[in-house]
Amino acid sequence: MMTLKTFIGGINPRNNKEMAKTTPIEIVLPGKELVYPLAGKYGTPAKAIVKVGDKVFAGQKIGRADGFFSVPVHASVSGIVRGIKKRAIFTGEQVKSIIIENDGLYDEIDYPSPIPLAEMANPDIINRIQDAGIIGMSGSGHPTHIKLSPQNPDKISHIIINGAECEPYITNDHHLMLSEPDRLIGGLKVLLKLFPYARGVIAIADDKTDCIDLLREKTVKEARISIKILKNKYPQGSGRQLISAVTGRFTSTAITAEAVGVILLNIDTVINIQRTVLTNKNLTSRIVTVAGNAIKGPRSFCVRLGTSYDTLIEAAGGYIKKPEQIISGGPMMGNALKETDIPVTKLSTAILLLTKDEVLKSNQTACINCLKCVSVCPERLLPQQLAVFAKHDDKASFIKHAGKECLECGCCSYICPAKLDLTEAIKSMKLPLMS
């Protein structure tokens, strides 16, 4: 056994992945109404190119990319456009969205027949990826075509595929590595064509031994692809921690992955790259984990984008206990939801329905300077100090103490014996400073 790659700090929360791991991915059909927000997490919102009353097909572009820093939006079902208006998304924000009434036929557009990879020029591949609407599927939401357009492609030495999946409960990548290994490797080969001097590294956490074994076997003859085993720890899947574990290179807010020759992509993103480049299909669905002790049948679903969260909750058998907290995304970095009639977007990695016992809410006490937050911080920051600076609105000290390097990973709040909301306090000062 080779040594495990990892980083200093971090936590080992109860990972609760057994729930959704044991059942295979299940396809779930959407309800009557599908909602497609035009804005993602990053970049310029797409522009609607359909109008109310239009008939659309699954895979059809309904919002066009508004420039390079934008991704288009596609319908995931066939039906009729019923409205273009503001709708709530998982962040609680109201976002301009296209609303489509599902006709239940799921008629697809005729995709043009794909060009063999060897005949495709690199810029065409990157255009195709943008045109298919691919973004970081881990919940990061970075438009993939931007990541794939570094200043100097020849300087890229590593394409790292993130198979850490360190957020508790979530099992999407685990399922995908097992069910789509060939697409994953195929997608990586597309990337290796784009970056001729890079080697491909699939980095997998050591709790996913089945994935490690399978992908090792599948890549044994691939000279440019290797498998790296990571220690299962949170936040091992965080970009900086993963890059440092695999390459030993240091990244920060000032030093990007690209600057150290690394492109880091999520498992699902690479599978989508394969699908879109080799079959020409647009991104119209994703994998979503539905888990937590409040739900009857936790599992990972393959679902069309725009489907309501309520449809997934129902498909998982509904509630068996009262949920204390409903979360979109992982329990460490996800968003708490006020309502569940919101659409699945490309950022919807999971829906977690957690009971009181799972969230372990308890009363706050005074900070006793135990420094557990300091010892778990993967960025070696001093969270309790940063939280004090944030409370006193002391921007100068916050910046001097490298507060802008905070990953918002949540380790400090998780470990705090005084139950202080350190991450929240640090975020409140960091976010205005970053924009």
Partner 1 sequence: MNGKTKASPHLRSKINTSGIMLVVILALMPATGFGIYNFGLNVLYLILVTVGTAVVTEYVTGLILKRAVTIDDYSAVVTGLLLALSLPPDTPLWLGAVGGMFAIVIVKMLFGGLGQNIMNPAMAARSFLFISFTPLLNYRNPALEGESPSLLDMLVKNTSGVIGETSMLAIILGAAFLIILGVIDLKIPGAYIISFFAFIVMFTGSFSPDYLASYLTGSLVFAAFFIATDYVTRPISARNQILYGILLGFLTAQFSLRGYGFEGIAFAVIIGNLIVPLLNKMGTGTRND
Options 369, 391, 392, 434; binder of partner 1; rule CB under 8 A: 369
Q: Is 370 in the site for partner 1 (CB under 8 A)?
A: yes
The smaller minimum CB distance to partner 1, of residues 121 and 254, is found at 254
Options 100, 381, 390, 429; binder of partner 1; rule CB under 8 A: 381
Options 13, 72, 298, 306; binder of partner 1; rule CB under 8 A: 13
Q: Is 325 in the site for partner 1 (CB under 8 A)?
A: yes
| d(C-alpha 435, C-alpha 166), whole Å | 27
Least spacing, CB of residue 209 vs partner 1, in Å: 24
Options 249, 314, 336, 341; binder of partner 1; rule CB under 8 A: 336
Options 162, 238, 251, 385; binder of partner 1; rule CB under 8 A: 385
Residue of 252, 217, 226 lying closest to 158 (CA atoms): 226
Least spacing, CB of residue 355 vs partner 1, in Å: 12
Options 131, 165, 207, 358; binder of partner 1; rule CB under 8 A: 358
Least spacing, CB of residue 326 vs partner 1, in Å: 6
Binding region for partner 1 (CB under 8 A) out of 9-17, 98-106, 250-258, 282-290: 9-17
Least spacing, CB of residue 403 vs partner 1, in Å: 10
The smaller minimum CB distance to partner 1, of residues 118 and 366, is found at 366
Q: Is 368 in the site for partner 1 (CB under 8 A)?
A: yes
Options 38, 267, 352, 387; binder of partner 1; rule CB under 8 A: 352
Q: What tokens were used for 341? A: 């009639």
Q: Is 316 in the site for partner 1 (CB under 8 A)?
A: no
Options 360, 431, 433, 434; binder of partner 1; rule CB under 8 A: 360
Binding-site ranges for partner 1 (CB under 8 A): 11, 13-14, 92, 168, 323, 325-327, 331-338, 352, 354, 358-362, 365-372, 374-375, 377, 380-382, 384-385, 400-402, 408, 410-411, 413-419, 421, 423-424, 427
